[in-house]
């Protein structure tokens, strides 16, 4: 009888010690995701300069995600993304040509095509329902987006080469991103991740500077306007989860 009592007490003590140690463990995870961005409907892009609505084209996205699990149902996450999205299509070429013709009346121009490359740092909470290998949803607010300049080349009828460049006036843009996904545990440390996100972003631009090979003919034009993008992202990737003991 004493032996059984001692065994029961030992089991309770061991369980209590293990529970205390588990509470001191920090649950970190990180992973790589890749996917595609699709326009979210007919009004996926809005340009305040012309008040025009239009489509945003399909683009690619790649992101590195890292997080800290506060509990089984709440995770703080950050994400570094890079992608190429053909948001600037023929409509923007037409817009730039129109402004260029106002600057150089009578010019006969041709524009080269280009892609719009952006970098993104997203910081915000991600709420997970249930354990790591189950359905989850997330909400990211106040993302920081850094843009690389888009450069197009124009040629007038006299053969003079001009450069059309477009730069953001600010290095930030407000956006929100909401999504849902599922994580399937492959083994003790690896999880397969599938998710979909709805992303809306508004960016301020100062633009349209024109420069010619001959500096005497340079006549820059500068405007400020906003662009709003709404896209749906489909992501898939691998998450590596690990536990660090204090």
Q: Where are the domains of the chain?
A: 26-245
Q: What's the CATH architecture for 26-245?
A: Beta Barrel (2.40)
| Helix (H), strand (E), coil (C) string for the chain | CHHHHHHHHHHHHHHHHHHHHHHCEEEEEEEEEEEEEEECCCCCEEECCCCEEECCCCEEEEEEEEEEEEECCEEEEEEEEEEEECCCCHHHHHHHHHHHHHHCCCCCCEECCCCEEEEEEEEEEEEECCCCCCEEEEEEECCEEEECCEEEEEECCCCCEEEEEEEECCCCCEEEEEEEEEEEECCCCEEEEEEEEEEEEEEEEEEEEEEECCHHHCCCCCCEEEEEEEEEEEEEEEEEEEEEEC
Per-residue confidence (pLDDT) for residue 13, from 0 to 100: 35
CA distance 32 to 4: 51
Cα distance from N-terminal residue to C-terminal residue, the chain:
39
Dump pLDDT digits (tens) for 62-99.
Answer: 777 777 766 665 666 666 665 554 443 333 434 444 44
Per-residue confidence (pLDDT) for residue 230, from 0 to 100: 77
Per-residue confidence (pLDDT) for residue 87, from 0 to 100: 42
For the chain, which residues score pLDDT lower than 70?
1-26, 41-44, 49-50, 52, 54-59, 69-175, 203-225, 242-246
């Amino acid at each position: 009888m004493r032996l059984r009592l001692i065994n029961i007490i030992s089991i309770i003590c061991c369980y209590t010690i293990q529970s205390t140690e588990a509470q001191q463990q920090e649950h970190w995870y990180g992973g790589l995701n890749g996917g595609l961005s699709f326009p979210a409907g007919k009004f996926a892009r809005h340009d305040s300069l012309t008040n025009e609505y239009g489509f945003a084209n399909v683009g690619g996205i790649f992101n590195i995600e890292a997080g800290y699990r506060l509990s089984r149902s709440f995770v703080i996450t950050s994400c570094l993304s890079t992608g190429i999205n053909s948001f600037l299509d023929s409509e923007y070429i037409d817009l730039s040509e129109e402004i260029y013709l106002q600057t150089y009346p009578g010019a006969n121009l041709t524009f080269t095509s280009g892609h719009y490359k952006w970098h993104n740092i997203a910081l915000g909470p991600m709420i997970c329902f249930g354990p790591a290998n189950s359905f989850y949803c997330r909400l990211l607010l106040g993302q920081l987006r850094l843009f690389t300049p888009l450069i197009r080349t124009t040629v007038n009828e006299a053969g003079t080469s001009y450069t059309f460049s477009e730069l953001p006036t600010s290095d930030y843009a407000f956006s929100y991103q909401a999504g849902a996904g599922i994580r399937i545990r492959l083994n003790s440390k690896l999880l397969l991740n599938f998710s979909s996100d709805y992303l809306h972003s508004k960016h301020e631009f100062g633009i349209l500077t024109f420069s010619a090979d001959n500096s005497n003919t340079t006549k820059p034009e500068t405007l400020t306007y906003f662009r709003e993008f709404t896209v749906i992202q489909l992501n898939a990737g691998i998450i590596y989860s690990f536990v660090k003991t204090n």
